[in-house]
């Protein structure tokens, strides 16, 4: 497949490496300098790629997605910190006839972690355990709490009706750690997901690109995974 990448940063580089390993062509990459307010997303660029990855930052993601939607593009977006804009982005993709798969976390290990959170939230709080989440990321990560932490908190709230205290640490080069703790006077239990690098996120994003090509509309990564798990 032919891929375009908006965002020439750490994830953009990792996606390019995984894409090439899997036999895809990266036909262009756009940096922030070439793309103020999404203006680098031209008809020519959008038309030359089967799938376009958007991994930039919270300040640029919405103009980029609206520009991609207007071009009818097929997009995999992993940028975090734009959940409030999802309704108008989804409307734009529906109007433009393209497709978008988005996720705050494209790691399959984190997807299974979400299932563990659901199960644990049903067991420990009713047994008297106090619960909190600590998420740790590298010093350059701009949004806090992380999109993954927000998802974990939402799952916890849905299961228990209580909000989840979240602490964010931004330091060093940590690729991403989420530690959910259930604490009681007698003991404590932790469920930890620790990314060893960015490869797992990039592999999930490329996997999503391989499956979204040719589709229309907006979906979350979990929906794509569920479809595959349901297949006979």
Ligand X SMILES: NC(=O)c1ccc[n+]([C@@H]2O[C@H](COP(=O)([O-])OP(=O)(O)OC[C@H]3O[C@@H](n4cnc5c(N)ncnc54)[C@H](OP(=O)(O)O)[C@@H]3O)[C@@H](O)[C@H]2O)c1
Residues marked as catalytic: 137, 141
The CA distance from 201 to 78, in Å, is 9
Quick one: which of 199, 198, 119, 193 has its CA closest to 156? 119
Which residue stretch of 17-25, 44-52, 92-100, 102-110 sits at the interface with ligand X (rule: CB under 6 A)? Answer: 102-110
Among 18, 19, 35, 152, binds ligand X (CB under 6 A): 35
Q: How many residues bind ligand X (CB under 6 A)?
A: 27
Residue 124, SS3 per DSSP:
coil
Q: Is 7 near ligand X (CB under 6 A)?
A: yes
- Contact string (CB under 6 A) for ligand X, positions 52-91, x = contact: ---xxx--x---x-------------xxx-----------
Strands (DSSP E) along the chain, which ranges? 2-6, 25-30, 51-54, 74-77, 99-102, 130-137, 166-170, 177-183, 188-194, 217-220
Interatomic CA distance for residues 4 and 44, integer angstroms: 11
Q: Which stretch binds ligand X (CB under 6 A): 4-12, 44-52, 149-157, 224-232?
A: 4-12
Interface contacts to ligand X, rule CB under 6 A: 6-12, 30-32, 35, 55-57, 60, 64, 78-80, 103-107, 140-141, 201
């Amino acid at each position: 497949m032919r891929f375009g990448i908006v965002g020439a940063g750490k994830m953009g580089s990792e996606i390019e490496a995984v894409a090439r390993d899997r036999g895809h062509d990266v036909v262009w990459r756009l940096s922030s300098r070439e793309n103020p307010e999404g203006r680098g997303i031209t008809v020519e660029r959008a038309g030359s790629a089967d799938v376009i990855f958007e991994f930039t930052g919270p300040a640029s993601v919405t103009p980029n997605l609206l520009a991609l939607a207007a071009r009818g593009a097929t997009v995999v977006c992993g940028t975090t910190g734009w959940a409030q804009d999802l309704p108008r982005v989804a409307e734009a993709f529906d109007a433009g006839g393209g497709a978008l798969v988005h996720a705050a976390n494209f790691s399959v290990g984190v997807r299974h972690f979400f299932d563990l959170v659901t199960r644990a939230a049903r067991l420990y709080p009713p047994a008297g355990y106090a619960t909190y989440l600590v998420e740790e990321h590298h010093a350059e990560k701009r949004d806090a709490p992380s999109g993954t932490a927000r998802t974990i908190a939402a799952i916890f709230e849905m299961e228990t009706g209580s909000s989840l205290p979240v602490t964010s640490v931004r330091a060093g080069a940590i690729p991403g750690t989420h530690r959910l703790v259930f604490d009681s006077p007698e003991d404590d239990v932790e469920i930890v997901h620790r990314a060893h690098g960015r490869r797992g996120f990039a592999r999930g994003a490329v996997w999503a690109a391989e499956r979204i090509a040719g589709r229309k509309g907006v979906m979350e990564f979990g929906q794509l995974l569920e479809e595959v798990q349901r297949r006979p």
